[in-house]
Structure 1
Amino acid sequence: MITLPHSLAQAAHVAAVLVVVLLLALAGRAAARRLRQPEVIGEITVGLLAGPTVLHLLGPGTFDVLLPGPVLEILKSVAKAGLVLFLVGIAHRLALPASGPDRRAGGWVAAGALFPPLLAGVLLAWYVVAGGDAAVRGDAPLPAFVLMVAVTLSITAVPVMARILADRGMSTSAAGRLALSAAVVIDAVGWLLCMLAVSLGSGSFAGFVRSLSALAVAGLCALTVRYALRTPAAHRLFVQRPRTAAVLLGAVALTVALGVEHLGMTAILPAALVGLAIPAGAGTAWERPVRTLTRAGNALVPAFFVSTGITVLAHGFARVSWGLLAATVLLACAGKGGGGYLGARLGGRPHRTALEIAVLMNARGLTELIVLQAGLAAGVLTAPLVLALTVMALVTTAATGPLLGLLHRAGTEPALAPKALATEGSPR
């Protein structure tokens, strides 16, 4: 849930930290551009390195003074709010009648990018168990361990993919629409499977049932939002007072997303559902308020990457073997890339579009890290395995930009659409 400052001094502390975080993200984006990487890769890398670097250089005592627990929680709340607003705008673009993804093709892409990676995760779990290293295997029940590892290889990061698509002007391309819509479905299924794995590890199915209930609530809230926005009163408000409408729409999106998260589901899915529920169409009354939301969210998305990254590697991890690292990366790439390509082809997409989709589905980013944190906190995953999976997430996400560029240079990438989010406050 959202955490608010308790005093003026704490609010000033949060503001100062937020400025530093955004400056770090700016530096990360600049470094990524020089390396010809998507800018979001720089933001993720800076976020992951910020915590361990500052902790190592200054020590735990000074680190806690600069970033005490309450301030970090407020920073996370601000970043989460920005992510929700950004995803509302991204999902709304998927609802445009002229650019909505084909449902049949989207279903095949989602299936292809979900089931083969799950199988690859089962193979990785078998590799770990067969290796006999107790430090990597841990002592979680075998069904919980296998399912959690399978989930970690099936994740595709909606926020990271959305940023990559925006950076490359692919938000309205055939590959971009299909990949992002499939990623939303995979995120929902993956989160449910993650909760099931945690439940199996604890011996209780209460968390899984709670997540199913939260998913139902999210769908009901989205339908309510869609019905309310189609009323004449809502239309007049959006036409006559677009800024007020944007504030109200943002408040509704935050309430739904954070409320559903409190019930046991990630805030990403309900935010996307609210965006899809907003009526779409060129020149409609809802377009201007949605653009305002996207600008506000886009400005705060770097804080999500940095603040989340601070908590991921801010404590030491055990050493991990090169064999485990190689197996993790290879199985992850084979499962997502091969499955995404196969799904796109079965969905009737041409070879070049299927290649783009295969590359995009391998972008895992911080959604992967959130799942890893859940598995580590529940005792289902161990520190060495989390480190290997973190490296895998960085490698597969960092490879997305160069591979897309390679497809473009080879003449296999169709002409990119104009940068769709440039008019919505994107800094690129």
Structure 2
Amino acid sequence: MLIRWGRLQPTIWAVIILLAMVTAADAEGDKASRPSEFVFLVQIALLIAVGRGLGELMQRIGQPSVIGELLGGLLLGPSLFGWLWPSAQAAIFPPSGEQKALIEGVAQFGILLLLLLTGMETDLKLVRKVGRAAMTISVAGIAVPFACGFALGEFLPQNLLPHPEARLIASLFLGIALSISSVKIVAVVVREMNFMRRNVGQIIVASAIIDDTIGWIIIAVIFSLASRGTLDLLSVAQALFGTLAFLAVSFTIGRRLVFRLIRWANDNLVSSAAVITVILLLMSVMAMITHLIGVHTVLGAFVAGVLVGESPILTRQIDERLRGLISSLFMPVFFGLAGLSADLTVLKDPQLLLLTAALVLIASIGKFGGAFVGGALGGLTRKESYALASGMNARGSTEVIIATIGLSMGVLSHTMFSMIVTMAILTTMAMPPMLRAALARLPLGEEEKERLEREEYEQRGFVANLERLLLAVDESTNARFAAHLAGLLAGGRGLPITVLHVGARARQQEQKRDEEESHEAAVINAAKASAEAEPDGGGNVDVITRARDTTAAEAITEEARKGFDLLVVGMDKVASGDGGFDKRIDELTAGFEGPLAIVAAKGVHQKEPTVNARKILVPVSGSNVSRRGADVAIALARLSPERLQVVYVSTTRDKGARRTGASMSLAREEAILKDIAATAARYDVNVATTLRANAAPEVAILQEIAAVGADLVVIGVDRIQGESLNFGSVAAAVLGKSKASVLLVSDGDVRAQGNS
């Protein structure tokens, strides 16, 4: 009995709270005819609680959370709550226009935020990668269901249309509603199944992205038609031209402007929510622009999301905060209100129930058939086409947003809206099990397997996870060499770099940033060369120059709070006389807790600091930090005409177990070298390996530098705890005695002295 009581407690408390809300809302509603703030808060609380609760339940059974939020609205609306207890439902959700306006205002802003989020999830690189196949699939996947929906709209009974004289607009709306997939639902299911990196998974998501993009452009044009009430060719041309002009400006000038605004907010505003504020303002401005050119605001919000998502310094923390706000507040309110607007009790009419079943069938067959044919035309196999068609059939959030727009514009009736919401729920719930079954049957090809292994390594790799670099330099030759190396690391992925000038002539150096001999020019030229070596062309590197009037240590501390993944240091003097680092480098690095890269130019790089290293040497030992050094060396070696030299050396941890005879097994060491060589091969970097496990590590490294004629040695090092910067005796010995340039790469952790 105690167990049963424990299980019943949440339900009993929910009923008690609901009764209290109904009583309070009813009493509040009797006080005055004006909108009630209390009723508004009750509505918000119920939609969030019920929507999020059912969303959690849906996720536990393998369904998208948006289904739970829609069902929450249906339960609270006339479909159930209003049917069982009409007076209570009317008290909490009164039909008065003024009260409804409060909650609908939140929902309308929620539409824009949902489109912003959808745009942020739009990966244009993925679309470009599989663009040809995805475009064929999207065109066929939209054309077939659009024709089916349009034809259905032309034959709908007049009593289902709010304005029978505007049947053409309703048919267009129904056509586009049946043809668009929900990129959010598709991406979530594909990601949950670990198929996002599979070939077919990428094509499915890319096709859904193109679907969404084309769909919102068409919606914008249809909105322009509906607002004018007639099919005026001049109005259509005006809307279409305005949309194309808006897209052209957004993806050229707008792309750079959005990136610079986000970076400016991140770098100059002290508030923790400054970037989110700028993103919301950008969304609002772009939505207003689309409204002014005569198309729907959703297009502006969607394009703003795409541009924001492409910003290279949109940190994970900011991204998670924004998504959390939208997911926890605006999604349950918007989809809950959509469910409230639907009245499934109309389906008790056998004719409407049959018509709804026909709508679901036509939508499913049209989308499935169109996507399947598109997959076949795009070169996919039968199994791949089947998986693709299964995934593209989910309507979900996109369908509901389109239907809500149609309802608010007076194009769709409440009955038609309820039928479309029913179709969206059923197709979305059918999609995950169908897609899981289809993807489970797809074999993994050899080429695809190699690509997946490479990408899996990249996810764990150091260079692949860098997002933003900070380069601290003075006016020395060594600083130009550091700028060159930083540009090579950034160019392959288009990482933004902040160049921080320190020293006595910092202001003068900053003013020279546009000159050919400046550090900024060294970064940009190296980045261009690195980008050209990448299969996909790399990306443009955005360089910002800073010079602080404060001390070098204060300048680094001030910059570090903006979020950097690596600090590259290039100073005139690197080592001190006692084997440690120069005092200025100590001061610079004291305020930076992340990974460091200390650069020391020697040999050829003292004369030509911007020349690429011809022969790079990297010592490895199997430790994580040595793998980090290998990761950086492989990235730099892509531009080298010579093979990357990899030498296995023992570490100070191995002193008691150093090899003493030829008979001792070297299987572990050889396996480590083989693994590094395999990793380098994935990037088309040739490797020469050497074993020097029997010598002290610093001796082995120096001997190998001389033996192979290396002009750059890259060493992964531990940062040892202490008052001054210390990478251990091995790094100090190599830094002091090497005739080749040295790049020391440390992790962000400070380790105890005994673990060097």
| Alignment TM-score > 0.5, same fold | yes
Distance 1:103 1:294, change over 3 A: same
Checking the alignment, whether the CA contact within 8 Å between 2:153 and 2:167 is kept in structure 1 is no
Residue number among 46, 63, 70 corresponding to 2:72 in the alignment = 46
Aligned to 1:37: 63
Aligned to 1:247: 277
Relative to the length of structure 2, the TM-score reads 0.46
Distance 1:218 1:118, change over 3 A: same
Q: Where in structure 2 are the equivalents of 1:278-293 lying within 5 Å?
A: 278=308, 280=310, 284-288=312-316, 289-293=318-322
Q: Which runs of 5+ in 2 are unaligned?
A: 1-34, 460-756
| Rounded Cα–Cα distance in structure 1 between residues aligned with 2:434 and 2:65 | 15
Checking the alignment, whether the CA contact within 8 Å between 1:107 and 1:182 is kept in structure 2 is yes
Shift of 1:274: 1.4
Tell me, yes or no, if structure 1 residue 154 matches structure 2 residue 213.
no
Aligned to 1:426: none
Q: Secondary structure, in 3 states, of the residue corresponding to 1:140?
A: helix
How many residues of Structure 1 are paired with residues of Structure 2 in the alignment? 404
Aligned to 1:365: 396
The one-letter code sitting in structure 1 at the alignment partner of 2:361 is L
The one-letter code sitting in structure 2 at the alignment partner of 1:354 is S
| Rounded Cα–Cα distance in structure 2 between residues aligned with 1:308 and 1:268 | 17
Residue number among 108, 112, 117 corresponding to 2:136 in the alignment = 108
Relative to the length of structure 1, the TM-score reads 0.75
Aligned to 1:55: 82
The one-letter code sitting in structure 2 at the alignment partner of 1:333 is S
Tell me, yes or no, if structure 1 residue 14 matches structure 2 residue 44.
no
Distance 1:377 1:181, change over 3 A: closer
Shift of 1:70: 4.0
Shift of 1:23: 1.0
Shift of 1:169: 6.0
Distance 1:179 1:367, change over 3 A: same
| Structure with greater strand percent | 2
Aligned to 1:328: 359
The one-letter code sitting in structure 2 at the alignment partner of 1:226 is R
User: Mean alpha-carbon deviation: is it higher for 376-385 or for 335-344?
Assistant: 376-385
The one-letter code sitting in structure 1 at the alignment partner of 2:45 is V
The one-letter code sitting in structure 2 at the alignment partner of 1:26 is R
Distance 1:381 1:247, change over 3 A: closer
Distance 1:13 1:84, change over 3 A: same
Q: Secondary structure, in 3 states, of the residue corresponding to 2:70?
A: helix
Could you say what the CA RMSD is over the residues aligned between the two structures, in angstroms?
4.2
Deviations 1:9-50 (A, max 9, x none): 955553442222111112222432454423222222222332
| Rounded Cα–Cα distance in structure 2 between residues aligned with 1:237 and 1:378 | 37
Checking the alignment, whether the CA contact within 8 Å between 1:118 and 1:151 is kept in structure 2 is yes
Deviations 1:351-394 (A, max 9, x none): 44433332232222354345445656777656665554443232
| Rounded Cα–Cα distance in structure 1 between residues aligned with 2:107 and 2:410 | 27
Distance 1:161 1:72, change over 3 A: farther
| Rounded Cα–Cα distance in structure 2 between residues aligned with 1:321 and 1:311 | 17
Checking the alignment, whether the CA contact within 8 Å between 1:184 and 1:272 is kept in structure 2 is no
| Rounded Cα–Cα distance in structure 1 between residues aligned with 2:223 and 2:175 | 13
| Rounded Cα–Cα distance in structure 2 between residues aligned with 1:108 and 1:87 | 24
Shift of 1:304: 1.7
Shift of 1:305: 0.9
The one-letter code sitting in structure 2 at the alignment partner of 1:398 is M
The one-letter code sitting in structure 2 at the alignment partner of 1:227 is R
Q: Where in structure 2 are the equivalents of 1:20-419 lying within 5 Å?
A: 20-33=46-59, 35-52=61-78, 53-59=80-86, 63-67=90-94, 69-95=97-123, 97=125, 101-125=129-153, 128=155, 135=159, 139-140=164-165, 143-144=168-169, 146-158=171-183, 160-161=185-186, 164=189, 173-192=201-220, 194-195=222-223, 198=226, 208=236, 211-212=239-240, 215-216=243-244, 218-219=246-247, 220-221=249-250, 223-231=252-260, 235-239=263-267, 243-257=273-287, 260-261=290-291, 265-278=295-308, 280=310, 284-288=312-316, 289-300=318-329, 301-313=331-343, 319=349, 320-372=351-403, 385-410=416-441
Aligned to 2:596: none
| Rounded Cα–Cα distance in structure 2 between residues aligned with 1:32 and 1:279 | 28
User: Mean alpha-carbon deviation: is it higher for 36-45 or for 11-20?
Assistant: 11-20
The one-letter code sitting in structure 2 at the alignment partner of 1:118 is F
Q: Percent identity?
A: 21
The one-letter code sitting in structure 2 at the alignment partner of 1:108 is T
Shift of 1:306: 0.7
The one-letter code sitting in structure 1 at the alignment partner of 2:54 is G
RCO comparison, higher one (Cα < 8 Å, 6+): 1
- In terms of Rg, which structure is larger? 2
Shift of 1:74: 3.3
| Rounded Cα–Cα distance in structure 2 between residues aligned with 1:168 and 1:279 | 23
